[in-house]
A and B are shown apart, each in its own frame.
Chain A
Amino acid sequence: DAGITQSPRHKVTETGTPVTLRCHQTENHRYMYWYRQDPGHGLRLIHYSYGVKDTDKGEVSDGYSVSRSKTEDFLLTLESATSSQTSVYFCAIRQGATEAFFGQGTRLTVV
């Protein structure tokens, strides 16, 4: 499993509520990423981190924020969930210009 876990694995939430997804790694990898996966769109980068407290936006960052206060944890927050954010969310870790390892994914449904 490359030492990466996501929580929760499944979540149903109501429109307008805040939601936080957690990614935890035990590999001490520098880079961490949040992707969303939707049919026909592949894997799109939401936000990424290149170190503690160092984060930046990806391709589809609107409506999302992230935080990384420790090397091992990368949090993705939907401040006010919308139906368009219904998706499968994957966290990934990487040490450098090498293979990325993915978490198991979180299936989020916004009703």
Chain B
Amino acid sequence: GENVEQHPSTLSVQEGDSAVIKCTYSDSASNYFPWYKQELGKRPQLIIDIRSNVGEKKDQRIAVTLNKTAKHFSLHITETQPEDSAVYFCAASTTPNYGGSQGNLIFGKGTKLSVKP
């Protein structure tokens, strides 16, 4: 089955700096890669996602890049702010097909990002 590795487990940056979180996946059939942000005591919520037919996607200060050949993808946060402090999870899945893979979302272990004012 799919295995997702995420690094680093903790990341501390100064406000205004950039933060990068990296993930690798094992299943070459995976084609959907979301990133979730979880604030303390809250549920995980999607912040950005990318599909395997795209190499990069941006949304304001957040971007995700995907390297299918190397089977890794990364989250980039620019101009970090204290409210970016949270735990970030990457995940990977295939497309569900009714005769085989159910396309389950498998998560990395998370990165705790701290942004110091």
Contacts and interface: CB of A to CB of B under 8 A. Distances in A.
Interface residues of B, number: 25
A94 B43 contact: no
Interface string A42-83: 111100101000001011000000000000000000000000
Interface string B92-104: 0111100000111
Contacts of B43: 90, 102-105
A87 to B, nearest CB: 14
Contacts of A44: 107
A27 to B, nearest CB: 15
A105 B45 CA distance: 12
B40 to A, nearest CB: 12
Contact of A102 (B31, B45, B93, B109): B45
Contacts of A59: 1, 106
Contacts of A35: 107
Nearest to B87: A42
Contacts, number: 58
- How many A residues touch the partner, as a band? 20 to 34
Interface in B46-72: 46, 49
Given A40-B109, A42-B109, A48-B104, A96 B44 contact: no
Given A42-B107, A45-B106, A58-B104, A97 B44 contact: no
Interface of B: 1, 6, 9, 31-32, 34, 43-46, 49, 89, 93-96, 102-110
Interface of A: 31, 33, 35, 40-45, 48, 50, 56, 58-59, 90, 92, 94, 96-100, 102-105
22 contacts: A31-B102, A33-B104, A40-B109, A42-B6, A43-B44, A43-B89, A44-B107, A48-B102, A50-B96, A56-B102, A59-B1, A59-B106, A90-B43, A94-B105, A96-B95, A97-B96, A98-B32, A99-B34, A99-B49, A100-B105, A104-B43, A105-B43
